[in-house]
Amino acid sequence: MKTEEVLPQKERGRNEGRFPYCLVRREETRDTSHIIRESLISPQLLSGTAATTLAANSFQDIPVTYLADVHGTQSASINMGFTYDGMTYSATNYLPLQGQAIYKPDFTGSYGFNYGTPYLANPVDGTVRLVNAGSQPLTVTGVSITGADAVRFQITGGNQNGNLSPGQYRDINVRYLANSVATHSANVNVSYTYDGVANTQDLGLSGQTLSTPVAQLWLDDTMIAERKRGTLPIFNRSLATLNPNVSSNFWPSLRSHKLFSHLPLSCNRALA
């Protein structure tokens, strides 16, 4: 059973009168109506239980640890006995304590998506996954994209609200728009409730959009070279004739460039 961490807290006893008062004892009491292991789940006084004297308008902190080792809500209180101006008092339930131990969500197996390095105006689709690896049902209450580059990504599916039983997962489809030359990152932000508590979980997105090259060299169906500007050197070191095919997406801008289409290149000759 997974519960939240042990939580140290502090309660404070304060003397707001004109005279000193002497604390003679402190003890804790518990609401045990629904507690199975009373001695384990109650808050523990770490220190500050010894008798002491507080001057007028002073205080003393009392460290308390909530063990949170049993699921549910527990309550207790700190009782105090003290003397003030020569009179003895006993304060029952003087400082109330309450805590709730919840199951911790587990997202083991969840992942984001890296879109690589597409060229400008060539969007890429990807999928992120949210896995409920915990022991309790998880309810998805919202899905959005957050982060500095959120506008560079777009959710295309899987963003509906709903429940994920333990062991189930949700795939969320996201498109990288590749509409701006730069490196981009964002998060798929999933809002959820788990064991009655609302929270969010981020799934990372990243991609880098490149400028479209001026020319590319393809051999059969494989691109073997590209150049964004300037010349594209080609050297044939094989024993056979090479037939390079140089193409460009920006024909109007290439008036000063020499383009060769299916130009044979014999052995040991260079083309630039």
Residue 108 lies in a domain: no
- Polymer length of the chain: 272
Asked whether residue 153 falls in the same domain as residue 201, the answer is yes
Return the beta strands (E) in 150-196 as ranges.
153-157, 162-164, 169-176, 182-194
Cross-strand bridge partners of residue 28: 78
Name the residue among 182, 222, 225, 226 with its Cα closest to residue 206. Answer: 182
Domain span at residue 156 reads 113-209
101, 129, 157: which is the final residue of a domain?
A: 101
Q: Give pTM, 2 decimals.
A: 0.64
Whole-number pLDDT of residue 218: 72
Asked whether residue 236 falls in the same domain as residue 186, the answer is no
Residue 34 lies in a domain: yes
Three-point CA angle 244, 247, 249, nearest 5°? 165
Asked whether residue 29 falls in the same domain as residue 96, the answer is yes
Asked whether residue 87 falls in the same domain as residue 126, the answer is no
What is the residue type of 203? L
* Chain centre to alpha carbon of residue 192: 13
Residue 264 lies in a domain: yes
Q: Which two tokens stand for residue 13?
A: 């006893």
Asked whether residue 154 falls in the same domain as residue 180, the answer is yes
Whole-number pLDDT of residue 62: 81
**Which residues, 6 or more positions from 238, have their beta carbon under 8 angstroms from its beta carbon?**
267
Considering all CA atoms of the chain, what is the largest pairwise distance in Å, rounded to the nearest integer?
113
Asked whether residue 134 falls in the same domain as residue 92, the answer is no
Residue 1 lies in a domain: no
| Mean pLDDT in consecutive groups of 10 residues from the start of the chain, 272 residues | 48 54 47 30 58 82 86 88 84 82 97 97 98 98 98 98 98 98 98 98 98 75 67 55 53 42 46 46
Q: Which two tokens stand for residue 21?
A: 């008062």
Name the residue among 186, 178, 215, 217 with its Cα closest to residue 202. Answer: 186
Q: What is the DSSP string of 88-154?
A: EEEEEEEEEEEEEE-PPP--TT-B-EE---PBTT--EEEEEEEE--SSS-EEEEEEEEESTTGGGEE
- Residue 95 near residue 62, CB atoms below 8 Å: yes
Rounded distance between C-alpha atoms, residue 126 and residue 205, angstroms? 9
Rounded distance between C-alpha atoms, residue 16 and residue 52, angstroms? 16
Asked whether residue 15 falls in the same domain as residue 88, the answer is yes
* Chain centre to alpha carbon of residue 202: 4
Q: How many domains does the chain have?
A: 3
* Radius of gyration over every alpha carbon of the chain, rounded to an integer in angstroms: 34
Rounded distance between C-alpha atoms, residue 24 and residue 262, angstroms? 100
Whole-number pLDDT of residue 177: 98
Residue 78 lies in a domain: yes
Asked whether residue 95 falls in the same domain as residue 17, the answer is yes
Strands 113-114, 197-209: parallel, antiparallel or unpaired by DSSP? parallel
- Residue 111 near residue 172, CB atoms below 8 Å: no
What CATH number corresponds to the domain at position 21? 2.60.40
